[in-house]
């Protein structure tokens, strides 16, 4: 793998981070609009022969569950948006430096790894608390799963990559001393 390939991957990572951030904001706003819309739709409002609340209330899905899911969705989307912004910042700084093998880049990648573990777990905990509050307040809220185990593996990989980048930065510094 060449430095040019790493820079290309960083540019792709930056673009993906921006896209993820945008979609997370859209998701959070969509959840807010969904809560507002569901709260203010009249009981008998129809589109054709179907009421909106009739569409929502199928099987385990009911308006109370929708409120809980959308409130928890806001939390999850906001957390992922924050993480995407940190990732974008890392990629932007890495591209500016021209190499991932800098002490600042290694430190930032390590921080990103820690955040990739902690932010989704924290968001899952907050979403679980939010769900619990809805479950207590509203009687018919169906079970909603909240877990984000994939971020732990990704975070650990970033921590290891941060150590490798630090090793590369140390090697480059030693090489400069020799030259």
pLDDT tens column, 46-66: 777 766 666 666 666 778 888
The residues facing 47 across adjacent strands are 50
Give the other-Cβ count within 10 Å of 132's Cβ. Answer: 12
Q: What is the pTM of this model?
A: 0.84
Provide the residue-wise pLDDT of the chain in tens; the chain has 179 residues: 788 998 999 999 999 999 999 999 999 999 999 999 888 877 667 777 766 666 666 666 778 888 899 999 999 999 999 999 999 999 999 999 999 999 999 999 999 999 999 999 999 899 989 999 999 998 888 777 766 656 788 889 999 999 999 999 999 888 888 87
Return the closest-CA partner of residue 142 out of 154, 151, 134, 153. 134
Of the candidates 71, 83, 88, 82, the residue with the CA atom closest to the CA atom of residue 135? 71
Assess contact for 17 and 84: CB atoms under 8 A. Answer: yes
Among 130, 124, 131, which residue's Cα sits nearest to residue 151? 124
CA 99 to chain centre: 26
The pLDDT value given to residue 44: 67
Exposed, middle or buried: residue 24 (CB in 10 Å: 0-12, 13-18, 19+)? Answer: buried
The domain segmentation of the chain, as residue ranges, is 3-178
Residue 149: its pLDDT value, please?
Answer: 57
Structure tokens at 173: 């510094």
Residues 84-104 pLDDT 10s = 999 999 999 999 999 999 999
């Amino acid at each position: 793998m060449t430095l040019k390939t790493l820079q290309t991957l960083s540019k792709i990572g930056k673009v993906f981070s921006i896209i993820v951030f945008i979609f997370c904001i859209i998701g959070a706003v969509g959840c807010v609009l969904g809560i507002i819309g569901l709260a203010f739709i009249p009981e008998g409002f129809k589109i054709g022969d179907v009421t909106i609340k009739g569409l929502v209330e199928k099987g385990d899905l009911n308006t109370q569950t929708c409120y809980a899911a959308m409130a928890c969705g806001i939390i999850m989307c906001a957390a992922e948006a924050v993480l995407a912004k940190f990732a974008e910042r890392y990629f932007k700084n890495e591209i500016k430096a021209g190499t991932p093998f800098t002490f600042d880049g290694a430190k930032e990648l390590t921080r990103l790894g820690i955040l990739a573990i902690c932010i989704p777990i924290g968001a899952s905990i907050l979403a679980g608390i939010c769900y619990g509050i809805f479950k207590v307040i509203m009687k018919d809220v169906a079970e909603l799963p909240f877990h984000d185990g994939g971020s732990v593996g990704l975070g650990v990989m970033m921590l290891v990559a941060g150590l490798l980048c630090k090793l590369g930065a140390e090697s480059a510094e030693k090489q400069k001393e020799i030259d």
